[in-house]
Structure 1
Amino acid sequence: MTGWNVLATSLEGQRDTLLSLLRRFGRFRRAGYRNVVVGRVDDVPAVLDGVRDALASDPFLPSVLAKLLPIERTVRIEPRTAVATLVDAAEPFLDRLAGGSFFVRLERRGLKGQLHTPTLEREVAEPIWRALERRGATPRVDFADPDSILVIETVGEEAGLAVLGRALRRDYPFIKVR
């Protein structure tokens, strides 16, 4: 499934249960990594509302869902060009990052030994920072309570990106970033 727009993780060993519970919201499948599923849904905001409601009423979902993230864009990555690909993929998000504090968070699954997560986070953040400065913005990094988080979730050679604003994270507590 290319073009997934939701990524979810289960609590340890609960992936298949999570998969069955999420199928009411869209087309979900195993992502090839332990406790990870990806999905394609027609209406992401409606799914976020539906998951929030289900967490309050469904006896099973709270015991299996670790996190669920909306994904705004997916791209194919290769180790040698990953930074350039991710920086290009993040360009449409610059206006949303320009207005306040932010940080870049990468959750890597796959490409072990080929991509180093902290290094990649820095190498993606630096050109974004410079691009924001060129636009006249004064970028600020805040890891404690940022206005926005640019998340990059890799699943093998695919990466999903999204900007998670403070209000979104507050309104949907299952949208979690480490």
Structure 2
Amino acid sequence: MKDWNVVVTIAENGFKQAFSLLSQYDHVAKTPFRNVLTLKVENTETFLKSFLQDMQKDPAYRRVFCRVIPCTHCFFFQTLSAFEEKAKQCIQSFLPQLAHRSFHVRMHRRGFYGTIKSQDEAGLLGDYLNEQLRSQGAEGKVTFDDPDVILDVEIVAQQAGFSLWTREQRNCYPFLKLG
């Protein structure tokens, strides 16, 4: 599988159109998972703004794309322990943005069935994050009711992508679909 930094889920029967529309942004790739494509873009911030503008202009975007989520930190892994170790390293980079804020971890997993349990891993990462914040005197608050920030984890086969989304960003980019 190719390197990616955007995960896209598409509507049933929307594959050809989605692939065509995404090709204008950069390198789009098929995955072994139904209705899931990945994309490698040069700059995720530029992509977000461009995708939003295109979605506002072209009604096909709302029909074809279910969820589009860029990731700022990506890594490959082969085992659960390797995933957890690298995930904790990623989390370190997000600590300043999470200090004294409400948050939760959301995970979307494609692959590693039976090995990685999304809810368990999201809980483990949330606990680790809270522990790290507390050790710095910057404790946050875990909440699922409109948190200040959501840490999103995307897994596609043996690659994981992490991104952090503020309430304002979630409102601005409806295609993130983070709740």
Q: TM-score category by the smaller chain?
A: over 0.9
The one-letter code matched in structure 2 to 1:149 is I
Q: Conserved in 2, the CA contact under 8 Å of 1:15 and 1:34? A: no
Q: Conserved in 1, the CA contact under 8 Å of 2:100 and 2:141? A: no
Q: SS at 1:33's partner residue? A: coil
Partner of 2:172: 171
Q: What runs of 5+ residues in structure 2 fail to find an aligned partner?
A: none
Tell whether 2:45 aligns with 1:45.
yes
Q: Conserved in 1, the CA contact under 8 Å of 2:5 and 2:72? A: yes
Partner of 1:75: 75
Partner of 2:118: 117
Give a deviation string over 1:79-128, Cα, whole Å, max 9, x none.
Answer: 23322221122211111111411001110100101111111111111111
The one-letter code matched in structure 1 to 2:23 is R
Partner of 1:13: 13
Q: Conserved in 1, the CA contact under 8 Å of 2:108 and 2:155? A: yes
CA distance in 2, matches of 1:115, 1:94: 24
CA distance in 1, matches of 2:54, 2:107: 28
CA distance in 2, matches of 1:31, 1:89: 24
Q: SS at 2:42's partner residue? A: coil
Alpha-carbon RMSD: 1.4
Q: SS at 2:138's partner residue? A: coil
Please show how residues 63-142 of structure 1 align to structure 2 within 5 Å: 63-77=63-77, 78-142=79-143
CA distance in 2, matches of 1:11, 1:44: 22
The total of aligned residue pairs comes to: 177
Q: State the identity as a percent.
A: 28
Q: Conserved in 2, the CA contact under 8 Å of 1:69 and 1:175? A: yes
CA distance in 2, matches of 1:158, 1:5: 10
Q: What runs of 5+ residues in structure 1 fail to find an aligned partner?
A: none
The one-letter code matched in structure 1 to 2:93 is P
CA distance in 2, matches of 1:143, 1:107: 16
Q: Conserved in 1, the CA contact under 8 Å of 2:10 and 2:64? A: yes
> Displaced runs of 4+ in structure 1, greater than 6 A?
none
The one-letter code matched in structure 2 to 1:94 is L
